[in-house]
Copies of this chain bind each other. A is one copy, B any other.
Amino acid sequence: MEVVERARAILGPAHVLSDPTDTAPFLADWRGRYRGAALAVVRPADAAQVAAIVRLCAEIGTPLVPQGGNTGVVGGAIPDATGRSLVLSLSRLNRIRETDPVGDSLTVEAGCTLAAVQAAAEAADRLFPMSLGSEGSCQIGGTIATNAGGTAVLRYGPMRDLVLGLEVVLPDGTLWNGLRALRKDNTGYALKHLFIGAEGTLGIVTAATLKLFPRPRSVATAFLALPSLEAALRVFARLRGALGDRVTTAEILSEPQLASVLAHVPGTGRPLAAVLPWYLLVEVTDPLAGLELAERLEDLLAEGLEDGSVADAAVARSQAQAAAMWKLRHSVSEANRKSGIVVGHDTAVPVARIPDFVARATAAVAAVRPDARVVAVGHIGDGNIHLVVLLPESLRASAEPLDAVAQAISAAVHREAIALGGTISAEHGIGQGMRDALAAFKGPAEMSLMQGIKRLFDPQGLMNPGKLVAPAPD
Contact = CB atoms under 8 A, between A and B. Distances in A.
A60 interface: no
Contacts of A158: 184, 186
Contact of A183 (B184, B193, B348, B430): B348
Given A180-B421, A186-B427, A452 B456 contact: yes
A214 interface: yes
A196 to B, nearest CB: 7
A163 B344 CA distance: 29
Nearest to A172: B445
Interface in A265-319: 286-288, 296
A187 B425 contact: yes
A178 B242 contact: no
A471 to B, nearest CB: 14
- Most chain B CB neighbours (cut-off 10 Å) among A182, A188, A286: A188
Number of contact residues on A: which range applies?
35 or more
A410 B286 CA distance: 42
A428 B188 CA distance: 11
Interface stretch (A12-20, A32-40, A378-386): A378-386
Contacts of A3: none
A438 interface: yes
Interface string A119-161: 0000000000000000000000000001101000100011011
B382 A183 contact: yes
B240 A214 contact: yes
B442 A187 contact: yes
Given A177-B443, A452-B456, 10 more contacts: A153-B183, A176-B443, A182-B423, A184-B427, A185-B426, A187-B441, A193-B194, A214-B240, A243-B287, A244-B287
Interface of A: 100-105, 146-147, 149, 153, 157-158, 160-161, 170, 174, 176-178, 180-191, 193-194, 196-198, 202, 213-214, 233, 237, 240-245, 286-288, 296, 346, 348-352, 379, 381-384, 421-430, 438, 441-443, 445-446, 449-450, 452-454, 456-457, 468-469
9 contacts: A100-B352, A103-B383, A183-B383, A186-B425, A186-B426, A189-B198, A190-B194, A193-B193, A214-B242
